[in-house]
Amino acid sequence: MDDIADFRHISEETISKNSRLMAWKSAPVEGDATITLLNNDTRDTITLQRADKVYINESGTYALAVIKPTFQDIRAAKLAKKSKDKWPKDILIRISSTFKIDTVGEIEKLYFPNKTAEYAYFTTAKRPEPVKDSTSTDSAATPTKKPKEPKEKPLYCLHLSNGDTTFVGYAADVAESADGLRLLFTQKSPETGSERKAMYLYNASTKTVQLLDSAAFDYKKLLLSDKGSYLSWLSISDSVADPAIWHWTLMELRKNVYRKVFSDTLLNGKYFNSYGRWTFSESENRLYLTLYTDRPLHEKPDTTKTDDEKPEFDLYTHTDYYLMTWQLANTDQLKAAGITVLYDLRRNKPIYLTQTPEEMAYYRTDVDQPWILTARNAGLDAGRNWEFPNEFTYFLVNASTGQRVNVVSNLRALAELSPSAKYVLWFDRSELRWKVFRIRDQRTYTIAADIGTQWHDLDHDVPSPPPAYGKAGFTANDSRVWLYDRHHIYAADPEGKQKTILLTTFSDTNHSVRYQPVYRREHYIGENSQNVYLLQRNLHSLEETLISFNTTNNLVSNRRKLNKALHRLQGGEYGQWLLLREESYLNYPEIQTISTDLARIKKWTNTGSQYEGKRRGNVRSFTYSVRLSNDSVVQLRGLVYIDEQQRDKIPAIVYYYERSSDNLHRHYAPRFSRSIINSMIYVSHGYAVIIPDITYSTSNPGQDGLRCVNAAVDEALRRWPQIDSSRLGLNGQSWGGYQTAYIITQTNRFKAAFAGAPVANMTSAYGGIRWGTGHSRITQYEEGQSRIGASLWDDPQAYIRNSPLFYLPNVTTPLLIMHNDRDGAVPYYQGIELFMGLKRLGKPVWMLIYNKEDHNLTQLKNMKDLTLRTLEFYNHFLKGEPMPTWMKDGIPAHRKGL
């Protein structure tokens, strides 16, 4: 376990806009992290000890890093039960591109504007030195009353070029312009004892503070446009008003002076929603805001009744647009709902984008689209809360006039507006065709019909219309849209006039090719460079090749065979270097830089050296055939992780979750388990791990899962005779947990099994709720992963036939269940049903319920615990090791935590 805790992982890669500076973090599960900063101009690096976060400015000339106290110092403070304000402090440092380091000082929170070249802001516990009053006399004078300290932390402005810091104020609320030159903040005046706040504007270039407003008790939605040309905020002057009526202020910078453009509590008779989304466009031409449809509702509790006089209940009705459970899980989203408005700052004119709170507007802030796409869930309009995919009706709204156009109704797919706003694109899952709505003539057309290929996923085995393989996107001026079939990329004409072009003529049906986006801000394919990147995968070996593809002549410029697969490829917004990470089971995805022409490459890390002397085995792929319940025969692929040098018979764990064979070259570094097993860890402990692909026919997920697993195990045992057929374990989480629960009711082949978050009883789970989202689980059974394909009333026998609960008397396999008490995906009473049934029947069963944990574990202490207990469980039943005390004697409630 110490090896897992100490293993250092690379994460949080950061790249400057011009790709000049790159950074990455290396950290163990527990312990002190480091961040390495690379200058691609000089090819120099610097490693910052105990660094937790790094921020690079717009020009790539400076970076800031937050340095944490040591892990042991923090741990000691926790053991001593010190309050957080007594813990060791974070330190902010400033690093130049030549790697000169200056210490800024202690920091609590950093505000780093996303387009800043010169300025950042931070708060700290350290108070500024008081300015001595030069008019005071001597110490014999009558002492003045010491002013009350503000409870807010002091806010400072940091000048990146010279490291100077300037005290700004005691800020309660903060918003900075994207360029960092201006900052809007609110501040209370502790001297007056008033609850009122004041609104200030700080100018970093002049180091001046300007009072903008002082008449409010509270402020919300503080906004500055990217260059500070506009200011916006909501304020409230009556602290006891119910409902709260918010006042919107909009100011514009004219001749270096801010003047009010709008100041009122109503916009065209409608009130402002302070919970909704408010944001400027990057062009500073638009402000998107949210209005209420009616007068805001009361929010304050009834003070005429005591708490024990107020009833508490949730009202469910058959006419609810949203299920009550969804409402309870998404109260913030409901509060934020309203009418979305585009406020044209050039014309001071509001354009209404939506008509009801249920309609959603899909707008971008990085470009000013002439049309805005909106959607309303037509399925919910009809009262159907259980369909998937959702059924949408789409509209277009003219951003200048507010004209509304109906695009498509009752579409069970997602639609997308093209970058130049000439088309709306979607895949029709019933006709299996790509379609566009041409805005110019407001008509719908089928595109790419001249190519005799299949656009839909041929492996789709869920009882719902199949999705498309997908698309790469549009090219410049929306001239072409790149579409995928199973193997290739095609360039289709959205006008339908030109022939569809096969782009990937260099490939064949033994491969698949996909577009690989690289740059952070790329509105269309080829915007940053005429050479774009494609990823070609060999469908047999699953090895991948990175290809530079010229969009002007549709030819390959260069290619690089990867080792073995791509983990990540990313750049800034431009520049001559990309960050590349490639991986295989045995090769950790190290940090490399590669030139944009793929000609030069350099490796910067050696994280994989941590594996020296460790037993990891290797991964192998194998094929097998299965006859499904509907009598069809399918060819599938499985994986085996095994140390082939081991000659003694070894036990094996069979793990599954639908199809996993595409992960042949994925690197699984050792980590504590959130719910599933880590193959490398189990190989190092003397196990083989078998991972079969599973596919299904409709209405028989239990039997089809069993058939696929058995066929894969049979083939693996035939190919690797060192695997001991008498010592096989099962392991699955969620849908895999259901498969485990079902399989052990049908066969005694497996000697130990783990089921995480399993469904035991489909008849009760059918009417349940996914508490994390509030959605009904009906969809999952009728049209989704559970693959029954009918309602409970239309085919009750299918629900019973596929439910493990009804076959529990057959179980002989010892079972370990994990089902946590805040599982938001599978109601944890399903685990209880499984446990209680097995307990009632006298079967060997244990159940772990991690408190305050969701579907997968998030707390490290619990992840460590699960990893250890699962290994101990398998070691006992598959290796003959002594039964651990927790399995033999249990842990009584009064000994919990001891």
* CATH number of the domain that residue 704 is part of: 3.40.50.1820
- Exposure letters 87-107 (e unless 16+ CB within 10 A, then b): eebbbbbbbebeeeeeebeeb
- The DSSP result for 504-567, as a single string, is -TT--TTEEEEE----SS-SSBTSS-SEEEEEEEETTT--EEEEEEETTTTEEEEEEE-SSEEE
Residue 474 CA to chain centroid, in angstroms?
24
Q: How confident is the model at residue 898 (pLDDT cuts 50, 70, 90)?
A: confident
Residue 527 pLDDT exceeds 60: yes
Q: Going by C-beta distance under 8 Å and a sequence separation of 6 or more, which residues neighbour residue 330?
A: 322, 773, 774
Residue 190 pLDDT exceeds 80: no
Give the mean model confidence (pLDDT) for residues 118-132.
82
Beta bridge partners of 216: 197
Whether 685 maps to a domain, the answer reads yes
Per-residue pLDDT of 611-622, as tens digits, reads 999 999 999 999
Give the mean model confidence (pLDDT) for residues 98-127.
94
pLDDT of 193 reads 63
Give the mean model confidence (pLDDT) for residues 854-872.
97
CB 486 within 8 A of CB 464: no
pLDDT of 131 reads 47
Residue 524 pLDDT exceeds 80: yes
pLDDT of 630 reads 96
Give the mean model confidence (pLDDT) for residues 486-504.
97
Give the mean model confidence (pLDDT) for residues 776-794.
95
pLDDT of 144 reads 56
Compute the distance between CA of residue 16 and CA of residue 25 in angstroms, rounded to an integer: 15
Per-residue pLDDT of 416-463, as tens digits, reads 999 999 999 999 999 999 999 999 999 999 999 999 999 999 999 999
Whether 657 maps to a domain, the answer reads yes
Q: Which two tokens stand for residue 224?
A: 């500055």
Whether 469 maps to a domain, the answer reads no
Compute the distance between CA of residue 428 and CA of residue 448 in angstroms, rounded to an integer: 13
On the question of a cis peptide bond just before residue 602, with omega within 30 degrees of 0, the verdict is no
Q: Going by C-beta distance under 8 Å and a sequence separation of 6 or more, which residues neighbour residue 203?
A: 181, 182, 209, 210
pLDDT of 194 reads 73
Q: In the chain, pLDDT over 90 holds for what percent of residues? A: 89
Whether 801 maps to a domain, the answer reads yes
**CA proximity to 377, closest of 352, 395, 350, 365:** 395
pLDDT of 242 reads 87
pLDDT of 158 reads 97
Domain carrying residue 632: 618-885
Q: How confident is the model at residue 10 (pLDDT cuts 50, 70, 90)?
A: very high
Residue 167 pLDDT exceeds 50: yes
Residue 709 pLDDT exceeds 80: yes
Q: How confident is the model at residue 192 (pLDDT cuts 50, 70, 90)?
A: low
pLDDT of 56 reads 97
Residue 625 pLDDT exceeds 60: yes
pLDDT of 139 reads 46
Average pLDDT for the chain: 94
Whether 380 maps to a domain, the answer reads no
Lowest mean pLDDT among 307-321, 485-499, 747-761: 307-321
Give the mean model confidence (pLDDT) for residues 808-831.
97
Lowest mean pLDDT among 38-47, 133-142, 551-560: 133-142
Lowest mean pLDDT among 9-23, 298-312, 572-586: 298-312
Whether 84 maps to a domain, the answer reads no
pLDDT of 285 reads 98
pLDDT of 136 reads 42
Q: How confident is the model at residue 215 (pLDDT cuts 50, 70, 90)?
A: confident
Give the mean model confidence (pLDDT) for residues 785-797.
97
Residue 96 pLDDT exceeds 50: yes
Whether 121 maps to a domain, the answer reads no
Q: Among positive and negative, which fits the CA dihedral 528, 530, 531, 537? A: positive
Per-residue pLDDT of 129-166, as tens digits, reads 754 444 444 444 445 556 667 888 999 999 999 999 99
Give the mean model confidence (pLDDT) for residues 823-850.
97
**CA proximity to 744, closest of 809, 799, 690, 835:** 809
Compute the distance between CA of residue 383 and CA of residue 716 in angstroms, rounded to an integer: 49
- Exposure letters 275-310 (e unless 16+ CB within 10 A, then b): bbebebbbebbbbbbbbbeeebeeeeeeeeeeeeee
Whether 645 maps to a domain, the answer reads yes
pTM over 0.75, yes/no: yes
Number of domains in the chain: 1
Q: How confident is the model at residue 767 (pLDDT cuts 50, 70, 90)?
A: very high
Q: Going by C-beta distance under 8 Å and a sequence separation of 6 or more, which residues neighbour residue 84?
A: none
